[in-house]
Chain A
């Protein structure tokens, strides 16, 4: 008999599928945000954004530069949109993410609620309507909106309909690990925009870059609520790294990773390396101040965070998912 709480047993493969299902959906949303932000930036007159190739940095932010340049020699709107959104050759395109999410969902249908299945299956069915990609910018915008809405819907279904047991906690882990990775990647590509020295050379040029960064993690409005002043690069960095009340900040992601890992540990009656590692990362974030991070090097900080985040992913896999 099972009475609520943690299920007595859950297949490792099921947990793995749930975890990746959540990651793929989160990643699809993130890619849509990057494309949207890039589209906005490139629509501005050159005087506002400078000569930088924003499509190039979109590819870098998506973390698939290697795969991209194996196929294309130049990063432009057409190539990048196709590769990040619709390409079946790119295992991390929005299309591939939704396909993989649906395959994972199908493999663990019994662990999903009807609403979650409906959300992901509906998304997958709808995806076919977009064929090889939209024919106009307008359609692309609609598509990118739709991707974000689909992800929100799926996430909302999980939040509102899943039993609070290990199945739920593993999906949450997937969401927060992916989210932390995404936020860190944006920071990694754009860190030079956020260095304090930039302020002097700043001006409208950087302003729009900062806005784009915030937009790609849906934090532009939050920024104003938190700081109540116009965009300052160190505030942007602070918001995305250390502010726990900001849902896509590294600190917030780790707060959630620790919480969910602890719930699993309590239900299973056993703490493990993943729990210890996650607590270590959270503590480091909690004890950091932006000044120190800048002093020791923002870039180094972010790089070491990305490495830590990968390590915890591997540890969770080893501890629970195989």
Chain B
């Protein structure tokens, strides 16, 4: 059984259909990526899963339960974490407070988790008392990932984690995604950086103006001529 299963999902904003009936599934332990151009509906899909936007039609099933229609708080408490687009760390809270607020719903001891995040991102430990607003873009992204890890999600959704970051930092972020994957966290990754995303993905979907147009393993899509042309910047026929 899939950890996350979406069936016929439709989402509209003010009369415009942003998602036109998509179905997709995420298996336990996989990295699944959703690629597509700007405005294809990738972020909307994640926002619908986390309960931030109301869905018009379809169902979202997580761990055998229907979660569509639930409040974002309830969905978080079920174990779905989110690294939102544009990082969205709380600029007025310190780095440590940002991590603590990630575990807002937990009542047990946070110390081991904080230590674990600091191990993955030693830079955050150095800056633990700094307001998050003073961090660089890459550091904020690491904090956003660390914050999401604090609630010990079973499914971690990441919305464009590489957006606006330097190539070296992007490499770090993708390395971290793989580390989390090895720790057993299921990952649903939305990316415009199709190349990097497909390389690490077990399964991938291509989203175009609200519909899924292609689906396959990461490698299949990486080798697909249409994907190559549209998303990987390679002309058909060229090698």
Q: Do A and B actually bind? A: no
Q: Interface of A with B (CB < 8 Å)?
A: none
Q: Interface of B with A (CB < 8 Å)?
A: none
